[in-house]
A and B are shown apart, each in its own frame.
Chain A
Amino acid sequence: MKGLNIVVCVKVVPKNSEIRIDPETNGVDRRGVDSIINPPDKNAVEAAVRLKELYGGKVTLLSMAPPGLDDFFHQMMAMGADEFVLLSDRAFALADSYPTVHTLAAGIRKIGKVDLVLAGVESADGGTGNVPPGLGEALEFTQATYAEEIDYNSEEKRFIIHRMNGSGHEVISIPSPSVVSIELGVNSPRFPDFRRKLDLDENYKMTVWSNKDLELPEDKRGLSGSFTTVEEFVEAKKRERKHERIEGTPEEIADKLADLILENMN
């Protein structure tokens, strides 16, 4: 293929501010909770579409998810992606990062010869960030996580990545194919093309692969392939606070505040 064959791993997550613990089951109560596209995944789609605009090629979005999320998937496609592949099967359910990695890796292999796999830096629900470097290992690709910028050198067939490594800012180059995770907020994801979205809603039939297609053994998929278990959920401890309201004219408030701050300074 001419240009870059890019796969972007994308995910839909519950809107976190609405999550509560169900006091009866002690599980997470997702009832009535809205979903959103995992925020950094939009940055990853944006990065992919920009690369395609510069160097040609194709952008395929890939998600392991239950059915019923087409509306979100079409929104992401309408940002400029070409295809959508959904990995969906009861056998994939309740996966932690290890089987998620192997399921996505099997999907990527089945898509064919790819030049670049992009992902978001972490998911807003589980928030592990394990999947992108895990994919690097499973696919035996080089990886770069926490990327802030990505460009491509078509002569050398290498990607140039800017990333923060925690102590410094580095620019590295990695070969094609590679896995790169894109940091949240590093570009401005474009709005979905409204007409394309409508057209997709009516006419697009995405590729759906079940485990009949991927043939993953039990130890590489779903609950049976997971190593970690959730022992329990606990509500994040809020410290007891005094909740004293400071009132008055702005002048008076500022005066009381100043005293309070100075009292608490030692």
Chain B
Amino acid sequence: MGKDKKAKGIWVFIEQFEHAALDISWELLGKSRELADKAGEKLIALVMGDNVEHIAQEAVHRGADEVFLVEDELLEHYKCENYTYAAYKVIKKNKPNQLIMGATPNGRDIAGRLAVKLKTGLTADVVSLDTTKDGIMLGQVPGFGGSVLAVIKCEVARPQMATVRPGIFEAIPIDKKRKGKIHKIDADLDKKYETTKLIKLQKVEGVDISKAKRLVAGGRGLGGDVSALKELAELLDADIGVTRPLCDDGLFPRDHQVGSTGVTVKPEITINFGISGAAHYTAGINKSNTIISINNDPNAIIFEYSDYEVIGDVNKIMPLLIEKLKAKLMKEVKQ
């Protein structure tokens, strides 16, 4: 589309997996409703997949004015060539002003490819999004490990594209009274051009710590023993977050990783055990209401991000803490 100035509408790409929309899609739609109202634009959902009409309907119930629904067998699973081709066709014809997608692996995969095909700018991995009244998108991007935020815009080309972090914005609850038009589009896909073969697909029943109310978090200071962390989580009915090295070492699956390349959390309370406080990590916990940190190094940067600071050895303090908590929780039950 390049320098097309007739572009209109704020579009949200609704990512789905096995016929269910990802939460990020509704988060984006929720935020974009607000942006569309501010810029006086229509809010349009782009739904692609096979047998996903129910998702198009839900998009209307969650704030979209219109939906472009592209259904095809070849869109059953995400394959970059099919998805890019189908999306490009709809976008080229309907000329959105803004196009917002989730900063998920597949969202970023298609966004990066589409932006080059459309000859436009892409602001990736946005943590905060705004628009001017004239429809210029303003995306805030963490740079340099999260210590700095750059406000980025793309004035000269359309659509203005951004991918947005999961867990940052709130979805609008379903309202079945909302009305909106669903346009069904034929993707005109041909199996002959399909280059990716799916060999195996395994759904991973992951955890979503982005919605944790309480988080106990562990780092390398735990020395590789995560049993106390797990016990605490159970005791407090909290989720477990960890720093990246613990995932790299295979101690926890990736969905427990907090930080700039992990999950952004916003719990009532976060307790950090043996975490140094690299910008990559603290970028993910900044929104916690209360932060408690335990580290044996008085100069650890994590203390700059903490409400309550304990200089001490996690190996000593965690077992004692578990003991005290058990005692206090028992007492509460008995009262």
Tell which of B39-47, B67-75, B143-151, B177-185 binds the partner: B143-151
Contact B196 A250 (CB under 8 A): no
Contact A137 B308 (CB under 8 A): no
Q: Which residues of B contact A251 (CB under 8 A)?
A: 320
Pick the contact of A227 from B105, B109, B154 — CB < 8 Å? B154
A241-B151 in contact given A97-B115, A250-B317, A257-B321 (Cβ < 8 Å): no
Which A226-264 residues have C-beta < 8 A from chain B?
226-239, 241-246, 250-251, 253-255, 257-262, 264
Q: Which residues of A contact B156 (CB under 8 A)?
A: 227
Q: Is chain A's interface secondary structure helix, strand, loop, or mixed overall?
A: mixed
A127-B151 in contact given A264-B269, A264-B290 (Cβ < 8 Å): no
Contact A241 B307 (CB under 8 A): yes
A30–B210 alpha-carbon span in the complex (Å): 33
A236-B149 in contact given A133-B109, A174-B195, A227-B157 (Cβ < 8 Å): yes
Contact A246 B199 (CB under 8 A): no
Taken residue by residue from 133 to 176, chain A's Cβ proximity to chain B (1 for < 8 Å, 0 otherwise) reads as 11011100011111000000000001010011111111111110
Question: Using a Cβ–Cβ cut-off of 8 Å, how many residues does chain A contribute to the interface with B?
Answer: 82
Contact B308 A246 (CB under 8 A): yes
Contact A261 B122 (CB under 8 A): no
Kindly state whether residue B119 has any CB partner on chain A within 8 Å.
yes
A242–B156 alpha-carbon span in the complex (Å): 45
A167-B236 in contact given A233-B150, A257-B321, A265-B268 (Cβ < 8 Å): no
A92 to chain B, nearest CB (A): 17
Which A170-204 residues have C-beta < 8 A from chain B?
170-175, 184-185
Pick the contact of B196 from A137, A173, A236, A241 — CB < 8 Å? A173
Contact B325 A128 (CB under 8 A): no
What is the chain B residue whose CB lies nearest that of A96?
A: B121
How many A-B pairs have beta carbons closer than 8 Å: the answer is: 277
Q: Which residues of A contact B168 (CB under 8 A)?
A: none
Kindly state whether residue A28 has any CB partner on chain B within 8 Å.
yes
Contact B115 A229 (CB under 8 A): no
A263 to chain B, nearest CB (A): 9
Q: Which residues of B contact A228 (CB under 8 A)?
A: 121-123, 152-154
A122–B278 alpha-carbon span in the complex (Å): 18
A6 to chain B, nearest CB (A): 19
Contact B268 A264 (CB under 8 A): yes
Contact A134 B309 (CB under 8 A): no
A174–B22 alpha-carbon span in the complex (Å): 26
Kindly state whether residue B283 has any CB partner on chain A within 8 Å.
yes
Contact B317 A257 (CB under 8 A): yes
What is the chain B residue whose CB lies nearest that of A220?
A: B119
Tell which of B26-34, B56-64, B78-86 binds the partner: B78-86
Q: Which residues of A contact B119 (CB under 8 A)?
A: 98
Contact B152 A243 (CB under 8 A): no
Knowing that A16-B144, A19-B147, A185-B248 touch, tell me 16 more A-B residue pairs with CB under 8 angstroms.
A19-B145, A96-B121, A129-B125, A134-B116, A166-B104, A166-B105, A174-B197, A184-B261, A232-B150, A243-B306, A245-B311, A250-B312, A257-B310, A258-B324, A261-B292, A264-B289
4 nearest A-B residue pairs (beta carbon): A227-B121, A133-B112, A16-B145, A254-B320
- Chain A residues within 8 Å of B, Cβ to Cβ: 14, 16-17, 19-21, 28, 96-98, 101, 122, 124-134, 136-138, 142-146, 158, 160, 163-175, 184-185, 226-239, 241-246, 250-251, 253-255, 257-262, 264-266
24 A–B contacts from the bound complex (CB under 8 Å): A98-B122, A122-B261, A125-B143, A134-B112, A142-B195, A143-B109, A145-B112, A164-B254, A165-B106, A166-B15, A166-B104, A168-B201, A229-B155, A230-B150, A233-B148, A235-B149, A236-B142, A236-B279, A238-B305, A246-B308, A250-B317, A253-B312, A257-B292, A258-B325
